[in-house]
Amino acid sequence: MAKFTTEALRTVALVGHGASGKTTLTEALLHKGGMIQATGTVERGSTVCDFDPLEKQYLHSLRSAIVHLDHANTRIHLIDTPGYPDFIGQAIGALDAVETAAVVINAQSGIEMITQRMMSWAAKRKLCRIIIVNKIDAENIDLPALLKSIQDTFGKECLPINLPAEGGKRVVDCFFNPAGEADFSSVEQAHRALVDQVVEVDEALMSVYLEKGEVAPEELHAPFEKALREGHLVPVCFVSARNGAGVKELADVFVKLLPNPTEGNPPLFYRGEGEKAEEFRSEPDAKKHVLAHVFKVVNDPYVGKLGIFRIHQGTVTKDTQLYIGDGRKPFKVGHLFLLQGKDHVEIPEAVPGDLAAVAKVDEIEFDCVLHDSHDEDHIRMRPLEFPTPMYGLAIEPKKRGDEQRISDALHKITAEDPTFHLDHDASTHETVIRGLGDLHVRSILDRMASQFKVEMNTRPPRIPFRETITARAEGHARHKKQTGGAGQFGEVYLRVEPLARGEGF
């Protein structure tokens, strides 16, 4: 396998609402990059990313999938994420592994709930953002109105970097190409708007532009990256994953215009704990000590526990010894992998910007930091904000004796999914599983049955109602019982009254 330097890497998370075509677009990009012979479809269950049996049954992604392709002497790491609200935790977790969030919009449906949330979450993590309008060849769509809606919702910095032509059969570049014919708007006008937006972040270049009236695209590379990092520009690309229109052009945009790991905003880390914790940024230098962040954990039925991490600093080889967080006992990287959907491609080393994986290291957990310095204090990354799982079901095994197997399986799933919680309610003596919605919880129950071969009865959790004293009351009672011997006697005077709310008992 070819080796790539950090400067020749791109990392992109495809995010957006369900049914926007992220998995199909990933398939088209893999085919264009020569990684697969023919494109699969979600309907036939033949895509690289939706390889899980449940994903084939549900006909949509349930978990994020990592793939890579090589294009124009550059390696593009892609993370295809689920888009339905019940599985949004997988998409949020992918944000810490990439420089760029590519928000995919269905041209037929327009801007949807998850579209807005992912734009907001990506901006909060200071990621570069790009909008991809997919399905431009669909019927009954109004692309000019959709572009206006994007600019009204997310700002005037959302500018088309290419435009559809010939009724959505191809696209025409607007950045490197100053003129051409498009289905709507003007290529020349779009080119001018892009250049105007980019030169605003570089005063020296703006002076040249105002003086000459034009700037060569090569001179715009550095200010273009700066505009992306600062959120001053959000390029809009048009594509059809089904007919291939704009797919090669999209790969070209990834390579020519998106930041490599040395150009993106470096993530924030903390060293130490409590008030003494120090903030610091990673440096994408292959020669420095290793800093990597585990953004996904998978319990593979064949390989075992798989820790998937983004390298932010240093180089990891198959003999590297790594520490986990503040752990004092290192583990040795026996085998280092790149993931291609369900396939694991063994590699000799990984550099800053690579998304790699190690297997059979039970101590690895989601969101932990891997490093190779034994004298480092507790290192962690700025935590992600996940939605709180609110939908719960009480569970119990259908068969007696399955309790331990169910417990083991649930703890494995909890380790993979930050939005799935397992609780034991001491007051009702119930085990309750909680997720982001009915579909989320049902998919986990289906997985328990299919992968772990255990079945459970479910019911709504009981609510542990409590009574409280609401008014002042007094009482007197006397107890007498004489059946021979000493007998029994007791007398009680009782007075109760409520305290104000919050004052305790």
Q: What is the CA radius of gyration of the chain?
A: 28
Q: What is the CATH number of the domain that holds 169?
A: 3.40.50.300
Instruction: Clarify whether residues 338 and 198 are in a common domain.
Output: no
Domain assignment present for 19: yes
Domain assignment present for 146: yes
Domain assignment present for 89: yes
Alpha-carbon distance of 43 to 41, in angstroms, equals: 5
Instruction: Clarify whether residues 361 and 395 are in a common domain.
Output: no
Quote the tokens at residue 23: 């998995």
Instruction: Clarify whether residues 282 and 169 are in a common domain.
Output: no
Q: Which contiguous run of DSSP H or E holds residue 132?
A: strand 128-134
Residue of 137, 85, 138, 141 whose CA lies nearest to 110: 141
Beta bridge partners of residue 355, listed in sequence order: 310
Q: What is the CATH number of the domain that holds 442?
A: 3.30.70.870
Alpha-carbon distance of 26 to 458, in angstroms, equals: 37
DSSP label of 123: H
DSSP characters for 46-113? --SS--SHHHHHHTS-SS-EEEEEEETTEEEEEEE---SGGGHHHHHHHGGG-SEEEEEEETTT-S-H
Domain assignment present for 386: no
Alpha-carbon distance of 406 to 293, in angstroms, equals: 29
> What pLDDT sits at residue 214?
83
- The phi, psi pair for 301, rounded to 5°, reads -65, -20
Domain that holds residue 63: 6-256
Global pTM reads: 0.91
Instruction: Clarify whether residues 395 and 377 are in a common domain.
Output: no
Residues 6+ apart with CB under 8 A from 188: 178, 179
Among candidate residues 362, 381, 400, the one where a domain is terminated: 381
Instruction: Clarify whether residues 410 and 281 are in a common domain.
Output: no
> What pLDDT sits at residue 481?
87
Residues 6+ apart with CB under 8 A from 316: 290, 292, 322, 333, 336, 349, 350, 356
Burial class (CB in 10 A: 0-12, 13-18, 19+), 258: buried
Domain assignment present for 397: yes
Instruction: Clarify whether residues 112 and 240 are in a common domain.
Output: yes
Instruction: Clarify whether residues 196 and 288 are in a common domain.
Output: no
Residue type, 140: N
Domain assignment present for 455: yes
Instruction: Clarify whether residues 310 and 247 are in a common domain.
Output: no
> What pLDDT sits at residue 234?
98
User: Which residue reads 């095994």 in tokens?
Assistant: 397
Instruction: Clarify whether residues 35 and 164 are in a common domain.
Output: yes
Quote the tokens at residue 339: 């993931």
Alpha-carbon distance of 213 to 93, in angstroms, equals: 44
Instruction: Clarify whether residues 304 and 180 are in a common domain.
Output: no
Our measurement of the distance from residue 32's CA atom to the centroid of its chain's CA atoms, rounded to an integer in Å, reads 24
In the chain, count H helices and then E strands.
Answer: 11, 28
Report the domain count for the chain: 3
Query: Sheet of 430-435: strands edge to edge?
Result: 421-425, 430-435, 391-397, 456-459
460-466-471-475 Cα dihedral, nearest 10 degrees = 130
Residues 6+ apart with CB under 8 A from 501: none
Among candidate residues 358, 381, 404, the one where a domain is terminated: 381
Long-range (24+ apart) CB contacts under 8 A made by 478-483 are none
Instruction: Clarify whether residues 229 and 284 are in a common domain.
Output: no
DSSP characters for 358-395? EES-TT--TT-EEES-TT---EEEPPP-PPPP-EEEEE
Among candidate residues 381, 416, 433, the one where a domain is terminated: 381
SS3 state at 442: helix
pLDDT in tens, the chain (505 residues): 789 999 999 999 999 999 999 999 999 999 999 999 999 999 999 999 999 999 999 999 999 999 999 999 999 999 999 999 999 999 999 999 999 999 999 999 999 999 999 999 999 999 999 999 999 999 999 999 999 999 999 999 999 999 999 999 999 999 998 889 999 999 999 999 999 999 999 998 999 888 888 888 788 989 999 999 999 999 999 999 999 999 999 999 999 999 999 999 999 999 888 888 899 999 999 999 999 999 999 998 888 899 999 999 999 998 899 999 888 889 999 899 999 999 999 999 999 999 999 999 999 999 999 999 877 768 899 988 999 999 999 999 998 888 999 999 999 999 999 999 999 988 889 999 999 999 999 999 999 999 999 999 999 999 888 888 889 999 999 998 887 778 888 999 999 999 888 887 7
Residues 6+ apart with CB under 8 A from 307: 294, 297, 357, 358, 359, 361, 364
Instruction: Clarify whether residues 396 and 373 are in a common domain.
Output: no
Domain assignment present for 497: no
DSSP characters for 335-362? --EEEETTEEEE-SEE-TT-EEEEES-T
Domain assignment present for 177: yes
User: Around Cβ 409, how many Cβ atoms within 10 Å?
Assistant: 20
Burial class (CB in 10 A: 0-12, 13-18, 19+), 495: exposed
Residues 6+ apart with CB under 8 A from 19: 60, 83, 106, 109
In b/e form, how buried is each residue of 354-388, taking b as 16+ CB within 10 angstroms?
Answer: bbbbbbebeebebbbbbbbeeebeebbbeebeeee
